[in-house]
Amino acid sequence: MSVTLTANGLAVNGQEVPVYSGTIHYWRLERDRWDYILDQAKALGFSMIETYIPWGVHETAPGQYDWGQIDPRKDLAAFMRLCHERGIWLIARPGPLINAELTDFGFPQWILDDPAMQARTVLDTMHMSLAAGLHPPHQFPVPSYTSPEYLAAVGVWFDHMCQVIVPQLAPHGPIVAVQSDNETCYMFHEQAYATDYSPSSLALYQAMLAEQYGAIEELNQAYATNYANFSEVIAPRDADIASRPDLVAHLDWVRYKEVHVNWIVATMADMLRERGVVDVPLFHDVAFQYRTPLDINAMEANGHVDWVGINYYRQPQGFDGAITLVRYMAGTTRLPFIPEFGSGLWIHHALTPRPEEAEFVTLAALMYGIKAFNFYMLVERDRWLACPITRHGDYRPEYAQLFERLMGFLQQQQWWNFQRKPEVLVLMSYDLGRYWAATSTLHYGHVDLLGLPPALNRVELDLGFSTDLEVESDDFHPQSWYGSLRSTLDANHIDYDLSDSHLRSSRIADYKLVFAQSVDWMSRADQQRLLQAAETGATVWLGPTLPTLDEYFQPCTILADQLAGKRQVALGSGHLGLLSQAELGAFCAEVAAGLPVRPQNPQLAVTSHRHQGREILFVANPTAETINSSLDFAHPVRLTSLWGAFAGADLQQQQPISLAAYTIAIVEVQHD
């Protein structure tokens, strides 16, 4: 490849290029302002930009394309030439799904109006997008990812679009990466029984079952059914679960949704490659999910896309949720990447961030391991607020100054080389995420915006398992083993990454200490992965329960056989053990005893980043009140302030610190 993915960004013909990008939508801006706008972006420190290439903007009528012949704002080739002349790299996002708050999300209307291309709901009705307030200016039919007619139409769009972008691929042009589809999650209707019950989707579901079970008799045994063949299998349409065989069938439907999403992302990637998008990496962006139906570990492992990022729109008050997302990317993906890093917000959002709020959430992402990002939007456009550059190219000073300072800091420190390497990894059970999805009865997109009590959409089951699955499958329940573990790690200032049980064993073994959430059942493949990680050097602690069943609830004691009733055993060069919830406090306190730095105030957060003998600390106050405290170091240090107010002193072990509400300080640490 002329452009390859690295641990720090991209390499263009062997030259390392950090992925520090900002979004500019060329077709939304006056053509005669492009030069000025690009110069202004580069002056802020951006040598890379990103843009969508919207299908519905360029195909103005069936078979009729405008690449600037009619509307000069659509001259994509000219825009790319201007980037290339300025030494600005370009990330291209050609859809077919765009979003971007565009009418019909960038699809041509006649595509959406074709019944053969439409997804179907559980009631066999047309699947409509969300309410008009979220999808301006109106709802629209959602395409079915598996429709042959839809895929054929996308192929024609790619035929025309690739003729424009392929000549502009690096190193001869500015394009260094291309996206394969966008936020593929059923247009935010990712709930298990919301969609897609179209004939082509159900055929793919049945094909998956045939591949999974091999013979219909095997499926009948698992489901306690008597189907004659796979084409008779009926997809679950609600959480009507009365037995373990019912649960197996519903979990298979949930798994199908993951296969479905990965299949369309892979298919789109292959279609781009077939049309000449080669020698540059392909990526996919996830809207916000890191659980089913998004299996990010599987998506990165399938070989069709090179890497996956997750979008990040956060307020300072949502610090815990924000760093959970970032920890997951740091522990899971090849390059921790935010394809859409909120720079401003869509116009219907109630809380447009102030510059100081944008500073806090930006530094929080860097603090916990983000290596690459694209600020969305760098340049203002319709239906978006609070960008650092206006649609005319002028700076909005209070925001522009933040980005100029940030980009200067990253370049001066050569931040892309620094690594945050926590020794601890926490693995969520992917099986439990599927259980949570399968036992939900709410089938509407963005239900979080409705403010409904979560209990209203839960089906409570008693299928004879020893674990309280309603508690343990809830990622946000403070009384679960997983929730207690994370709060205990945080209270002891132990830094850690997050992933799930689908993470490959070689990556798990990179960590000294691994906590793996487990209940009565765990898939055979996940048990094998954890065993292999332990054998190759990791210390793996399971909890709250030792799994003795596989994903079909059949006996599977791969891990239990190793322990044989013991609390911990040595395996190869590592260890395997079982840790109860009651033991977490004492265990984490013992781990924390050897930390090189600890804040006296438990509400402060600290992370360490290193490169070639240099150490840089981030210290965050994620609360609404000023904190006056100190940092306790194991050995005397001297500190140099790099960002924010910090009262440091030479060669002391206890360093005073004062942080205002929702602020982050960055200091360099020197040890004598």
Q: Which of 252-266, 433-447, 516-530 has the lowest mean pLDDT?
A: 433-447
Whether residue 220 is contained in a domain is answered as: no
Picking from 590, 623, 651, the residue at the C-terminal end of a domain is 590
pLDDT at 402: 97
Tokens 């791969």 belong to residue: 558
Helices 584-592 and 481-491, packing angle to 10 deg: 30
Whether residue 219 is contained in a domain is answered as: no
Listed residue (306, 22, 276) closest to 161, CA to CA: 276
Q: Express each pLDDT in 88-112 by its tens digit.
A: 999 999 999 999 999 999 999 999 9
CATH code assigned at 320:
3.20.20.80
CATH code assigned at 576:
3.40.50.880
Structurally, how many domains does the chain consist of? 3
Q: Is the pLDDT of residue 608 over 90?
A: yes
Is 27 in the same domain as 90? Answer: yes
ω into 299 cis (within 30 of 0): no
Whether residue 436 is contained in a domain is answered as: yes
pLDDT at 253: 98
Tokens 């760093």 belong to residue: 323
Picking from 370, 386, 418, the residue at the C-terminal end of a domain is 418
Listed residue (285, 432, 447) closest to 373, CA to CA: 285
Is 552 in the same domain as 650? Answer: no
pLDDT at 448: 59
Q: Is the pLDDT of residue 403 over 70?
A: yes
pLDDT at 349: 76
Is 564 in the same domain as 602? Answer: no
- Beta-carbon contacts of residue 115 (< 8 Å; ≥ 6 apart): 126
Runs of H (alpha helix) within 179-293: 199-213, 216-223, 244-274
Name the token pair of 459: 């089906």
Is 89 in the same domain as 155? Answer: yes
Higher confidence at residue 349 or residue 599?
599
pLDDT at 651: 62
Name the token pair of 311: 């979008």
Q: Express each pLDDT in 372-389 by its tens digit.
A: 999 999 999 999 999 999
For the CA atoms of 536, 537, 539, 541, the dihedral, rounded to the nearest 10 degrees, stands at -10
Whether residue 308 is contained in a domain is answered as: yes
Extended beta strands in 146-218, E state: 175-179
Listed residue (82, 91, 71) closest to 30, CA to CA: 71
Whether residue 215 is contained in a domain is answered as: no
Q: Is the pLDDT of residue 652 over 90?
A: no
Is 387 in the same domain as 508? Answer: no
Is 9 in the same domain as 127? Answer: yes
Structural domain including 400 reads: 3-194+250-418
589-621 as b/e: b if 16+ CB within 10 A: eebeeebebbbeeeebbbbbbeeeeebbbbbbb
Whether residue 208 is contained in a domain is answered as: no
SS3 90: strand
Is 392 in the same domain as 493? Answer: no
In this structure, the chain runs to a length of 672
Whether residue 200 is contained in a domain is answered as: no
Q: Express each pLDDT in 404-416 by its tens digit.
A: 999 999 999 999 9
Is 71 in the same domain as 128? Answer: yes
Burial class (CB in 10 A: 0-12, 13-18, 19+), 222: buried
Picking from 590, 622, 645, the residue at the C-terminal end of a domain is 590
Is 603 in the same domain as 560? Answer: no
Is 444 in the same domain as 564? Answer: yes
Is 394 in the same domain as 439? Answer: no
Whether residue 240 is contained in a domain is answered as: no
Is 363 in the same domain as 412? Answer: yes
CATH code assigned at 623:
2.60.40.1180
